[in-house]
Amino acid sequence: MDRLTEPRTPVKCAETRCAAVLYVEPQHADNLRGTWRCLDHKDMTA
């Protein structure tokens, strides 16, 4: 399977009011969901 055509899973920024989404490979999505933050929020603490 071509790596570029694999389905990507959207993971939303952990900041509730933020609409940023990161598209990752499905096997990484569960690890990142709820913890990933976009560049604007990555330095903020929960």
For residues 1 and 15, the model is more confident at: 15
Per-chain mean pLDDT for the chain: 88
Dist CA 34 CA 1 (whole Å):
29
CA angle at 12 for the pair 17 and 14, rounded to the nearest 5°: 55
For residues 44 and 38, the model is more confident at: 38
Q: Please give the structure tokens belonging to residue 20.
A: 């940023």
pLDDT, residue 43, reads 84
Q: What are the boundaries of each domain within the chain? A: 1-46
**pLDDT class for 4, splitting at 50, 70, 90?**
low
What is the enclosing helix (H) or strand (E) of 31? helix 26-32
Q: Is the pLDDT of residue 16 over 60?
A: yes
End-to-end CA distance of the chain: 38
Q: Is the pLDDT of residue 37 over 80?
A: yes
What is the enclosing helix (H) or strand (E) of 12? strand 9-12
